[in-house]
Amino acid sequence: MHVRRTGILLRPNNARVLYRPFHPPHPQRAPRIIGRIMELSEAVIEELLAGVLAEFHGRHQRLLGFFFERFEAVRHHLLTDRPLSEARRLVIGSYFTQEYALESAALFNPSIVWHPDQSGLPSGTRRFLISLRAIGEGHISSVGFRAGTVDAAGTIALAEPTGFVTAPRVVANATYDKPLFLRKLAELGIVDGLVELVFDALDDQFTLGALEAALAQATRQQRARRKEWEPLAGAILALARANYEIECDPASDVSERVIFPYSPAETNGIEDARFVRFVDDDGSVRHFATYTAFDGSVTLPQIVETDDFIRFRVSTLNGPEIANKGMALFPRRIGGCYAMLSRQDGENIYLMQSDMLHFWHAKRLILRPTHAWEFVQIGNCGPPIETPRGWLVLTHGVGPMRKYAIGAVLLDRDDPARVLARLPEPLLAPNANERAGYVPNVVYTCGALLHDGLLVVPYSMSDYATTFATVPLADVFAAMTAT
């Protein structure tokens, strides 16, 4: 195959920092910090604020607004209701804010979709978006974005990122669908009388605030059952907080946007988002991404959806087959059902189909490790790509010395459980320049695109940095062997 490595290199950049809340490690320290600040004269406060702004204001956008938010979050530690100057409130807020270098350790495992905006481009050129797994302090993973173009000759160009990164705002008035929420509770086995009492008081569309109020009202009405219901109330709220919406500044460049861990299930990060442009049966278009939430001990597949890469809705996936990592959604329904590739046992590739996006109850084994370079395990490398000959699926295989390589298989368009062909040798394996990194001997991707018969593959090198390769689709098909 005529695989061309482009030489493009996306390295982690420790200068790209965002601001986020700082929580002192011990609860009693917050009032002591505030007490010390309150001892300072107004002149010292003004001088201190000027120093903070001189050092940090040019590194961020809307920093003062965040300082005010952080002050409001800790003002309950104040001993009196005495009015404070704007400068003192900003200084207090700054003490409970920190910078975080979200990609200081690695920038890898890319997925790719066509950009929703294709305006202003020459003929034969298309604009794309890539998502990237960024790892920073504490090995916490988040999702960042970059934009680029590929022209008629297959030349790839990436847009330069701006100097800013800003965490998204959690949408306070986001609504939940009551029937869907109740079904998720039932899947989790939460069907106690508390559920009926709480949800009878809620509308078909409700907010987190309304749910919290309904839970508080229910426990007040049934005081005798308060201790019994406390764990259930906690579980209901945990489910609500794992299903949330975030919004980036619409005026921001896409390189400034990031999906940062928010829910308890994401405490240690959001891993390996696989974005796909999904076209429904009615012609409507939405972008989905399956990803892995990690809380430090348990991995949990979740899904995020967006229309514009500005506002994102994050949801839990449910059902007995939601397990392990590496789920990838097909870009359309097949036979009226959603379809998804999975790897529940950590070794083989399965096909799942469901009439509901958030619930998955059955799987079929379709691919086992077969060639020497994939004897340890195989998995998908992103959503299937529809071609006239079938569904092209990039795979990863693990061989001797835990070396990862990228392969490909072809599935039937109407029955994707039927494997038509596969590559006997890897499409990409780490070369001498790609073997060193955070995890050595790895090439990996979370998605690829077809552009006028050219397969465009962004891929990571040893879990550290990201590059691109291209290969004619006809060459891939020619190298495949029928199964």
CA distance 423 to 251: 44
Residue 222 confidence (pLDDT) above 90: no
Question: Residue 16 — pLDDT band, cuts 50, 70, 90?
Answer: very high
Percent of the chain with pLDDT over 70: 100
Render pLDDT for 383-392 as a digit per residue (tens, 0 to 9): 999 999 999 9
CA distance 67 to 465: 33
Q: What is the pLDDT of residue 109?
A: 98
Residue 1 confidence (pLDDT) above 90: no
Neighbours of 129 (CB within 10 A): 20
CA distance 388 to 189: 44
380 within 8 A of 344, measured Cβ to Cβ? no
Domain residue ranges in the chain: 6-11+102-168+248-482, 23-95, 170-242
Residue 151 confidence (pLDDT) above 90: yes
Task: Give me the architecture of the 6-11+102-168+248-482 domain, per CATH.
Answer: 5 Propeller (2.115)
Q: What is the pLDDT of residue 41?
A: 98
Residue 177 confidence (pLDDT) above 90: yes
Render pLDDT for 94-126 as a digit per residue (tens, 0 to 9): 999 999 999 999 999 999 999 999 999 999 999
290: which strand partners?
274, 303
Render pLDDT for 437-480 as a digit per residue (tens, 0 to 9): 999 999 999 999 999 999 999 999 999 999 999 999 999 999 99
Is residue 434 packed enough to be buried (19+ CB in 10 Å), middle (13-18) or exposed (0-12)?
A: buried
Residue 276 confidence (pLDDT) above 90: yes
Please compute the mean of the pLDDT values over residues 342-348 and round it to a whole number: 96
Q: What is the pLDDT of residue 107?
A: 98
CA distance 93 to 65: 10
Instruction: Assign 474 to helix, strand or coil.
Output: helix
Render pLDDT for 208-219 as a digit per residue (tens, 0 to 9): 999 999 999 998
Neighbours of 474 (CB within 10 A): 13
Mean pLDDT estimate for the chain: 96
CA distance 74 to 422: 58
Please compute the mean of the pLDDT values over residues 143-170 and round it to a whole number: 96
